[in-house]
Amino acid sequence: MAEMDTSSSGGGKKHQGTKSKKLSTRVDMTPMVDLGFLLITFFMLTTTMSKPKTMDLVMPKDTEKEEEQNKVKESTALTILLGKKDQVYYYEGLAQDPNASSNPDFFKATSFANTNGIRDVIIKKRDEVARLRNAKGEPEDVVVIIKADDGSTYKNFVDLLDEMAINRIQRYATVDISDQDKQWIKSTEATNGIQ
């Protein structure tokens, strides 16, 4: 609290004439410090700490034995290639046949757009494999293989992983891009005028 010192500052001398008294003020800061600590304590106890936002990735174990490796069927695979300037390329299957590109509808380009983008492609393939699975009675599921080109960005890779989570794709893998895939991307970029 504020306090005023009104004591007179004279020993036993008489004052000659009328002089005004000098008053000194002293502000006690103790209540303000107490209030500050109470506020700090209150906000520390009532706020919630932000949790780090991480993405769970399940990585397969490395193995040299071929029988322990996960095999992917050509009919259930969708290969997605990330290019530069937010371009996404895809083809159905694993493209193990080098002459597969002779079909003009084999290698396709799209983007991350909300309509006619990569999400629609993933949904279409997921539903197609689900119909195939129900017809055969086998426990098949769509497998998405993700390959990133040197010109792709980390943002595009994370966006594609988000698409996997949004569309509930349980099985996907990131694989190194092959030379054949790079050639297909370059020829498609040259056709579309992307540099």
Residue 77 belongs to domain spanning: 73-192
Residue 12 lies in a domain: no
Residue 139 in any domain: the answer is yes
Q: Is residue 21 part of a domain?
A: no
Taking the chain (195 residues) in consecutive chunks of 10 residues, what is each chunk's mean pLDDT? 56 61 81 93 86 69 60 75 85 68 70 84 86 71 85 88 86 84 79 65
Closest CA to 55 of 171, 150, 164: 164
Determine the Cα–Cα distance for residues 119 and 165; give it in Å rounded to an integer.
Answer: 11
The answer to the question of residue 175 being in a domain is: yes
pLDDT at 35: 94
The CATH number of residue 91's host domain is: 3.30.420
The span from the CA of 90 to the CA of 99, in Å, is 16
Which single residue is written with the structure tokens 């991307």? Answer: 185
Domain tally, the chain: 1
pLDDT number for residue 60 = 61
Residue 37 within a domain: no
Q: Which H or E run contains 31?
A: helix 30-46
pLDDT of residue 99: 60
pLDDT for residue 114? 79
In a domain, 155, yes or no: yes
Q: Is residue 59 part of a domain?
A: no
Backbone angles phi, psi at 120, to 5 degrees: -65, -35
Residue 29, domain member (yes or no): no
Rounded Cα distance between 131 and 125, Å, is 10
Strand partners, 3: 26
Gap between the Cα atoms of 88 and 151, Å rounded:
11
